[in-house]
Amino acid sequence: MNKALDLCRASDVNTVMLYFIIGAPGEREADRLAIADYALDVRRRLGHTDGTVIVKLHQFMPKPGTLTQRLRMADPDVVHGYGDRVAARLRELAGDEEYEQRYRVEQFGASRMHLEVVCSRGDRRINHVLDDLYDAGTDLSELTKDQLTEALARRGLDYDRHLRHEPVLPWHILTLVTPFPLHPGKHALRAVTEPAEHARHVRDRYPGTTLSSTDGVVPLYQQAVPEKTVNRYPCRRVHWVRGELFILKRRDRQVAVCGGFGLGAPATVLVLEQLIALGARRAVTVGTAATLRADLSTGQLVVCDNALRNEGVSRHYLPPGSHIKASQQLTYALTASLRTREVDARSGPSWTTDALYRGTDTAAVFAVADSLVERRPRREQPEVASASASASASASASASASGEAWDPVSACHRP
């Protein structure tokens, strides 16, 4: 600070602003009044007859992720009184005329202070309080403590308890050292946007839209696979979800096939949510994957029976955990269908990497398209295309063969 004042004096800077936080636990009246003495000394050290000192006072507020985050706060009305006494002390030391010309003590308005002390706690329930005030037409720049106290009470909150930090507020949501996921209970919370909205929109455009009459849906990642699949069976295309959706007829039964929706967990979950909202109750995904095992060759089919959850999407739908199991009955039907076609398939886990709505009981089969153990230049591989086609046909058959229906409630909360 001394060096800064020396630079101001040498550079003919004649205005200095001093910023102080007041109202901290353990603070004494003498500590606050010393601000006035310091402001007087700073102007003297500036060495300019027209020098001006501005003193800005702000209330102490604990911030998330700091050592002070759980300390109690003083009432803003009380702190505002502290500031008034600092200004009076400075006026007394400098004299009325010099004080009016060369000093200024600034504080935030009481309305802003009352809002800040409550919002600074990071309690998300305050969002509803602010919405209520806004909907009621309240001018927040003129908000009184009584108005805020009443608005908090209507939501079951207590202004004084927020100042005292009682009870402990949910800092685990905000702390900078929180382990992933940020909110372990996210999967149980109600979503702001829901796939049912999409279903209503589609049905407004296409009355009678439903997938409940189908045996299941087969999401396909590679574009060539759905093209070959739809050419093999009688089908019709519908414009109900993101991507290309076809309703296939197979042995007097119907299966939906979806492709062109993108890659990765976020894209897959988005389209699955839309399919489920339209009535789909079983899903078997078919795609390609790289392998971490040297004994899996290109074109080898792998039925995924469980997955290591290394992406973020599943944490929006299920409690935290390391793995998730595929639907046992649907996976069995898929394996049996492959065996009937005399297709060699292995079973094992997958390692997922990176999501939107929520999920369903699903089974999955992948064709090995690459190796992370033995790296080779990427190229077109007919064995991958052949394996994917076999997987797609078996997926359609297993969706029809399985008697297991999807329960949207238990599926969203199944560990």
Domain residues for 133? 2-173
- Over 90: is that where the pLDDT of 86 sits? yes
Tens digit of each residue's pLDDT (9 = 90 or more) over 115-172: 777 777 666 778 888 889 888 888 888 888 888 889 888 988 888 777 766 544 554 4
- Over 60: is that where the pLDDT of 42 sits? yes
pLDDT of residue 401: 53
- Over 50: is that where the pLDDT of 408 sits? no
Lowest mean pLDDT among 84-88, 241-245, 271-275, 299-303: 299-303
Residue 125: inside a domain? yes
On whether both 139 and 227 belong to a single domain, the answer is: no
Residue 178: inside a domain? no
pLDDT of residue 116: 78
Assign 267 to helix, strand or coil.
Answer: helix
Tens digit of each residue's pLDDT (9 = 90 or more) over 348-384: 888 877 644 443 444 444 444 444 334 355 455 555 4
Q: How far apart are CA 241 and CA 257, in angstroms?
A: 11
On whether both 221 and 342 belong to a single domain, the answer is: yes
Which of 138, 158, 173 is the last residue before a domain boundary? 173
List of residues 6+ apart from 228 with CB closer than 8 A: 389, 392
Nearest Cα neighbor of 91 from 102, 106, 80, 78 is 102
Residue 276: inside a domain? yes
Residue 193: inside a domain? no
On whether both 153 and 224 belong to a single domain, the answer is: no
Lowest mean pLDDT among 282-286, 391-395, 408-412: 408-412
- Over 90: is that where the pLDDT of 80 sits? no
- Structure token digits, residue 171: 């800092």
Residue 184: inside a domain? no
Mean pLDDT of 265-273: 89
Q: Where are the alpha helices (DSSP H) in 206-348?
A: 224-232, 265-277, 328-340
Please give the C-alpha separations between residue 55 and each of 8, 11, 16, 30, 102, in angstroms, as whole numbers.
17, 21, 9, 17, 11
Nearest Cα neighbor of 100 from 87, 112, 110 is 87
- Over 80: is that where the pLDDT of 223 sits? no
On whether both 406 and 262 belong to a single domain, the answer is: yes
CATH of the domain at 247: 3.40.50.1580
Tens digit of each residue's pLDDT (9 = 90 or more) over 176-221: 444 445 566 777 777 778 889 999 999 999 999 999 999 889 888 8
On whether both 134 and 217 belong to a single domain, the answer is: no
List of residues 6+ apart from 213 with CB closer than 8 A: 254, 279
Residue 358: inside a domain? yes
Q: How far apart are CA 202 and CA 217, in angstroms?
A: 18
- Structure token digits, residue 404: 């297991």
pLDDT of residue 2: 80
On whether both 145 and 209 belong to a single domain, the answer is: no
On whether both 207 and 72 belong to a single domain, the answer is: no
Residue 189: inside a domain? no
Q: How far apart are CA 280 and CA 359, in angstroms?
A: 11
pLDDT of residue 101: 93
On whether both 345 and 398 belong to a single domain, the answer is: yes
Assign 301 to helix, strand or coil.
Answer: strand
Residues paired with residue 18 on neighbouring β-strands, in sequence order: 55
On whether both 284 and 162 belong to a single domain, the answer is: no
pLDDT of residue 129: 87
Q: How far apart are CA 184 and CA 16, in angstroms?
A: 48
- Please state at what angle helix 328-340 crosses helix 382-401, rounded to 10 degrees: 120
Tell me how many domains the chain contains.
2
On whether both 161 and 208 belong to a single domain, the answer is: no
Q: How far apart are CA 391 and CA 393, in angstroms?
A: 6
Tell me how crowded residue 76 is: count the other CB atoms within 10 A of its CB: 25
HSE-up of 334 (CA within 13 Å, CB side)?
A: 33
Lowest mean pLDDT among 289-293, 308-312, 361-365: 361-365
List of residues 6+ apart from 342 with CB closer than 8 A: none
Q: What angle do CA 21, 130, 182 make, to 5 degrees?
A: 75
Q: Provide the whole-model pTM.
A: 0.46
Kind and range of the H or E element at 250? strand 244-250
Which of 154, 173, 192 is the last residue before a domain boundary? 173
pLDDT band at 386 (very low <50, low <70, confident <90, very high): low
pLDDT band at 251 (very low <50, low <70, confident <90, very high): confident
Tell which wins on pLDDT, 13 or 52.
Answer: 52
Tell me how crowded residue 295 is: count the other CB atoms within 10 A of its CB: 8
On whether both 258 and 396 belong to a single domain, the answer is: yes
- Report yes or no: 90 and 36 within 8 Å, Cβ to Cβ: yes
- Structure token digits, residue 355: 């999501």
- Over 70: is that where the pLDDT of 242 sits? yes
Residue 180: inside a domain? no
Residue 332 CB burial class (10 angstroms; 0-12, 13-18, ≥19): middle
On whether both 289 and 402 belong to a single domain, the answer is: yes
Tell me how crowded residue 229 is: count the other CB atoms within 10 A of its CB: 24
Tens digit of each residue's pLDDT (9 = 90 or more) over 325-351: 888 888 888 888 888 888 888 888 888
Tell me how crowded residue 191 is: count the other CB atoms within 10 A of its CB: 12
